[in-house]
Amino acid sequence: MDEDVPMHIIHLDQDDPKKCTARAMHRIGEAIIHHDVRGAPRRGFLLDPSAGIVLGPDDRTMIDRGAAIVALDCSWKQLESSMSSILDNTKLEPRTLPLVLPANPVSWGKLGRLSTAEAMALCAAIMGRMNQAVRMLRPFRFGQEFLELNAEPIAAYQECSTNSEVVQAQWSFFEQP
């Protein structure tokens, strides 16, 4: 059985605390929160929507050796400046996620606008840790809906052998821009 992927969140306190999925994940022990970039892991992947390299099978070796997934929890309006600051101050490798539909009430159906919990659960699922993904989403009313809504793309992403196959697989579910 594969060990859980270490999940870390750099939290910038820019959102509504009542809607913050990162805090809820921390409360149930599914993620570690850092309020400062310097506390983030040294090895791993930073989720970055503009990375240009998708997270996928090519990254499993590092994950299997204990590399972490790091998410930035900030306002979508301040994403670009916040992301630049983290990339300038860490050695984390930026990765974007393949397309799925969010089920959270704030961004329901807005392609790619995932909550922190949805993004991190997708990472766990892609890395073959489906039990971890389910646990991460358990506290959220939309958690089961997210997994059901995206069951087919997630299964397809899990079957891919390379990151570039993941990129190709997403276009069989979503329209290519």
Report the alpha-carbon angle 112-113-117, nearest 5: 105
User: What does the pLDDT read at residue 17?
Assistant: 63
pLDDT at 1 over 60: no
Give the tens place of pLDDT for each residue, 100-134.
999 998 888 888 789 999 999 999 999 999 999 99
Rg of the chain's alpha carbons, rounded to an integer?
15
108, two tokens: 């329901």
pTM comes to: 0.90
- Beta pairing partners, 96: 54
Give the tens place of pLDDT for each residue, 75-98.
656 666 666 667 777 788 999 999
Quick one: which H or E segment has residue 152? helix 151-159
Phi-psi region of 88 (alpha: psi -120 to 50; beta: other; left: phi over 0): alpha
